[in-house]
Structure 1
């Protein structure tokens, strides 16, 4: 079968021929119709991920058709169109994952291939209103957004939400999920055109964080936020603390701009703020995310679709940060 191969840190991705996986007990093999990129894949290529097990076949997200069921797996799965939960080994504590938690794409071979082997318990029917490309965009980013918003920050209808960095996959899912739940959603972005696109998804408004006084502008428009969902951290996090209302909750799932700046502790304790770290999620979070997508007929935003053989170009496109939504690969046969 065809697969995208990463030989080592800093190496370009290459399309190779390799053996098709075989389902073991409790496992299934999925013929990949579409797979999606995540920032995690770029980190792995650059050696910035906490696991470093090379060579590797990357890819955490996929949608496809079950081609084989292993011993103990209901054979009715064969031929079913599915989406895959990429996480295994979360453990018994729903508040935090165990040391055994793993995500498809490292260390086990991932979805940037014609076929991928997964635990059968991680299979879910593909949402029928979504194409394979749209469904493939959901798993990791949708799961992260859902857990940060609902499991951690306990978002309630009619609350005001700020989502930073509108344009990335997780941020856009956070916008869509919060709008669907009845919240008033505002966004930030470094590009005015992305602010306009976020409004088209239902955001009430937004500001360009490259403008001086952006946080004061937001405060004047909104009065502050009950929930803030952030992936940037860095010096700007100070302003997010200021923008949070008394009793507010801040969910942080990334740190693209580095270490958090100097925060006045009184801003946190006097306003009774709660700051949550969150990433990925449990099997229950994944199921809840799919229920929301199906009930509200939500459609992931897909920015660009590349053929599997252009995965290296897709990675550089992601690294440039110009996308609005998910970047997807279309797998085309053996």
Structure 2
């Protein structure tokens, strides 16, 4: 099959389009034809080794210094990244084969893959991630455990469905962990990105009042997906909102704006993080944390209800897919370069070549 193999830590030259062996199914697995695969920040982070404790800058800065990149033993999502391997966390696919003993009635179903897998069950937060810990979807085919694929009945295109798993799964998990309910005031940082735009929609779906932080040029687009108000990302969030004005902060930006996000939280408020694209090292005034009785929540391992919730939202027409741009699989480097320019709202998607066509 055709695939993009990431050879190791480094720049775009590590992304090599080549022919590789078709995955061999083990017990309990299914083979999917990849119909469309979303692009996420995590794939870039993994390629450049951003998860290493030695990296102190945001993703963009790390990529800018790609000529200085060196392999990092702790640069992967959980442990050392299994280079060379196939990245790709998002998948809209079709079941084309099942392992012996599997349910052959599922062959032909269009499905989404729950990319975050709890390897020891939902009582443990240990995870393995498709496209970070094992071969993913930047290919014509991918194999996964049968219990991690979810049929979805809707009229969305393959490309639209491919925007959902990682971004919306992460956002829904943050809202679930943050216990967002109707009437709460939710502040979403990085609201024009994949996770941020998903969080805006999903928070509005829960009946929350949503204030979003985004670039001024993207304000109208963020308002159109449900935000009640948009604050420019360069503005002083405390001056705009006032102290103790927000119930929940949903943030995957961090960086220099972190302190202000805690200041606008009400007493007893909750801050939920799933990333740090603006920079992983922040300044925390412990007095703000303990005097206001704040709760800081990390959000990586998806809780059990999250993905089933997303499927139901799609099937009931309660979500709007945000496709920013579609690229052929072989143009993955161009897609990642443009992704990092952050001029888009929503998600980029890769489409594998029609079966039989050379990359």
With normalisation by structure 2, the TM-score equals 0.86
Partner of residue 109 from structure 1, selected from 132, 135, 138: 135
TM superposition shift of 1:84: 0.8
| Match of residue 316 from structure 1 | 337
Partner of residue 46 from structure 2, selected from 44, 47, 71: 44
TM superposition shift of 1:174: 0.4
Superposed counterparts of 1:65-104, under 5 Å: 65-94=94-123, 97-98=125-126, 101-104=127-130
Partner of residue 349 from structure 2, selected from 322, 328, 334: 328
User: Which moves more between the two structures, 257-266 or 276-285?
Assistant: 257-266
Partner of residue 140 from structure 1, selected from 161, 166, 189: 166
2: distance between equivalents of 1:268 and 1:108?
A: 38
TM superposition shift of 1:127: 4.2
8 Å contact 1:140–1:280 — kept in the other structure?
no
8 Å contact 1:14–1:312 — kept in the other structure?
no
| Match of residue 173 from structure 1 | 198
Superposed counterparts of 1:238-277, under 5 Å: 238-277=259-298
What are the Cα deviations for residues 211-266 of structure 1, in whole angstroms up to 9, with x where unaligned?
3x34211238xx61111101122221111111011221110111122245443333
2: distance between equivalents of 1:273 and 1:90?
A: 31
8 Å contact 2:122–2:303 — kept in the other structure?
no
Partner of residue 207 from structure 1, selected from 231, 239, 249: 231
Give secondary structure in 2 for the equivalent of 1:147.
helix
**Structure 1 stretches lacking a partner, 5+ long:** none
1: distance between equivalents of 2:22 and 2:300?
A: 31
2:326 matches 1:302: no
2: distance between equivalents of 1:90 and 1:107?
A: 12
2: distance between equivalents of 1:22 and 1:322?
A: 40
8 Å contact 2:210–2:228 — kept in the other structure?
yes
Q: Between Structure 1 and Structure 2, how many residues are aligned?
A: 326
Give secondary structure in 2 for the equivalent of 1:188.
strand
Partner of residue 17 from structure 1, selected from 11, 16, 19: 19
2: distance between equivalents of 1:209 and 1:136?
A: 28
2: distance between equivalents of 1:259 and 1:134?
A: 31
TM superposition shift of 1:280: 4.4
Give secondary structure in 2 for the equivalent of 1:158.
coil
TM superposition shift of 1:36: 0.6
TM superposition shift of 1:195: 1.7
Partner of residue 291 from structure 1, selected from 283, 295, 312: 312
2:211 matches 1:182: no
8 Å contact 1:246–1:272 — kept in the other structure?
yes
2: distance between equivalents of 1:146 and 1:182?
A: 14
TM superposition shift of 1:93: 4.9
Give secondary structure in 2 for the equivalent of 1:14.
strand
8 Å contact 2:82–2:134 — kept in the other structure?
no
2: distance between equivalents of 1:173 and 1:127?
A: 20
TM superposition shift of 1:180: 1.0
| Match of residue 147 from structure 2 | 121
**Structure 2 stretches lacking a partner, 5+ long:** 51-74
| Match of residue 218 from structure 2 | 194
| Match of residue 219 from structure 1 | 242
2:302 matches 1:281: yes
Closer, same or farther: CA 202–148 of 1 in aligned 2, 3 Å? same
The two structures, once aligned, show a CA RMSD in angstroms of 1.8
With normalisation by structure 1, the TM-score equals 0.92
1: distance between equivalents of 2:291 and 2:136?
A: 46
